[in-house]
Amino acid sequence: MAGKPQPVRVLYCAVCSLPAEYCEFGPDFEKCKPWLIQNAPDLYPDLVKEANAKEADKVANQLQSTGISSGGDGAASSAPKQEEVKRLPGGKIKKKERQEVTIEKMTRNKRKCITTVKGLELFGVKLSDASKKLGKKFATGASVVKGPTEKDQIDVQGDIAYDIVEFITDTWPDVPEAAIFFIEDGRKVPAA
């Protein structure tokens, strides 16, 4: 077995999965920092120093706050939670999608139509269950269809546009009536 190259073991960051030395270029360096300080202190000497300084500050702060008031801890922990922003590659920030349900009627064969419901999944509704319920309620075919731009939608046969609002708000109380919209002639019209 002479000369056989041994595999090198590379230290990978547990947070972002990159080799530890590339964390600073990773998607979220801030989150990696605590792990790095513990596991790869020699790679980022600045970080450790920074952390030590912070630690010292914290201790000092704590000493002060305990001196002033004992009930100060509660206020600190209820600090506003940072809203998680999904970052797309390239540093663009993905906008949080508006939670709303849109209902559209499409005519087919002149007197037959299909009602499509989009956006129910944003309220944590299982689409397959929802389509079954809709089909049962309106006694028609209802199916989950891969819509445009890879979003799933529910197609229900027949014109049920007006009954459906009540049905949705009754069945899923999480969905407010104000979040339901009709699409008429390409314009959004609130249902409420």
Partner 1 sequence: MFKKFSSEEVSAQNQVKASVQRKIRQSIADEYPGLEQALEDLLPKKSPLIVAKCQNHLNLVVVNNVPLFFNIRDGPYMPTLRLLHQYPDIMKKLQVDRGAIKFVLAGANIMCPGLTSPGGALDDTVAAETPVAIMAEGKQHALAIGFTKMSAKEIRDINKGIGVDNMHYLNDGLWKMEHLD
- DSSP E strand stretches across the chain: 101-108, 112-118, 142-146, 152-157, 180-184, 187-190
**Closer residue to partner 1 in complex, CB, 11/75:** 11
Q: Give the shortest CB-19-to-partner 1 separation in angstroms.
A: 5
Residues in the chain: 192
DSSP-derived 3-state class of residue 2: coil
- Cβ atoms of 157 and 105 closer than 8 Å: no
* DSSP 8-class letter at 134: H
Distance of closest approach, residue 20 Cβ to partner 1, in angstroms: 9
**Residue number with CB closer to partner 1 (22 or 123):** 22
CB of 4 to partner 1, least distance (A): 4
Strand partners, 72: none
CA distance linking residue 50 with residue 47, whole number of Å: 5
- Footprint (CB under 8 A) of partner 1, residues 26-85: 26-27
Using DSSP bridges, classify how beta strands 180-184 and 101-108 pair: parallel, antiparallel or unpaired.
Answer: parallel
Q: Toward partner 1, which CB reaches closer, 15 or 103?
A: 15
CB neighbourhood size of 129 (10 A): 12
Please say whether the beta carbons of 101 and 181 come within 8 A: yes
Size of residue set near partner 1 by CB under 8 A: 18
Rule CB under 8 A: say whether 165 interacts with partner 1. Answer: no
Closer to partner 1 by CB, 22 or 172: give it.
Answer: 22
Nearest distance, CB of residue 6 and partner 1, angstroms: 8
* Contact pick of 7, 74, 148, 173 for partner 1 (by CB under 8 A): 7
Beta carbon of residue 2, minimum distance to partner 1 (angstroms, whole number): 9
Binding site for partner 1 (CB under 8 A): 3-5, 7-10, 16-19, 21-22, 25-27, 89-90
